[in-house]
Amino acid sequence: MGAIFFYVFVYFIAYYSTFVINLLSVRPLISNRFIAGLVPVVLVAISHGYFITTSPPPQGADISVESALMSNVIIPVIIVIIGVIFFMWKKKDDDQKMLEEEERARREALEDDDDYDDDDLDGDDNTEDKDQEDKKSSNNETPERENDQVTKKEPPNNKNA
């Protein structure tokens, strides 16, 4: 039981140290902190397993090397890996839900800004008449926009003439 807590502790130290490294760097160096946290766990498990296999078991203990490896290294590492996979899956679902909510909010914002409301589709829409009135005033003058275009098209004055 103590080995599980030990490997979980090693994992969280590695996980949060990668977070600190990403904070201190200009851009994130480690993109997947979940997997980066597993690297020290696996390295500690390999060294722990090597230590168990090369040293003789305690004198009063009736335990084999295989059972010591299973109870102190393999099972705790498997539990940590299952936990990491669960948290990666959970984070992926949370990120996906957040993206869907942002997309839905963006669509609602676009629908609110839309020029055509339900009131515009009732058949009493006079927007075309208003557009035509804008183009020609009551004195049959051209709109200001056209006046601006006419002045832009005039040739520049020649100083030599």
pLDDT digits (tens, 9 = 90+) for 14-38: 999 999 999 998 888 888 889 999 9
Q: Establish if 129 belongs to a structural domain.
A: no
pLDDT at 28: 84
Q: Establish if 68 belongs to a structural domain.
A: yes
Q: Establish if 112 belongs to a structural domain.
A: no
Instruction: Say how many domains are in the chain.
Output: 1
Classified as helix, coil or strand, 123 is coil
pLDDT at 116: 55
- Boundaries of domain holding 45: 2-97
Mean pLDDT value across residues 36-54: 94
pTM of the predicted model, to two decimals? 0.60
Q: Establish if 108 belongs to a structural domain.
A: no
In angstroms, rounded to a whole number, what is the distance separating the alpha carbons of residues 35 and 50?
Answer: 23
pLDDT at 82: 95
Q: Establish if 72 belongs to a structural domain.
A: yes
37 contacts 12 by C-beta, under 8 angstroms: yes
Whether the pLDDT of residue 9 is over 90: the answer is yes
In angstroms, rounded to a whole number, what is the distance separating the alpha carbons of residues 79 and 3?
Answer: 11
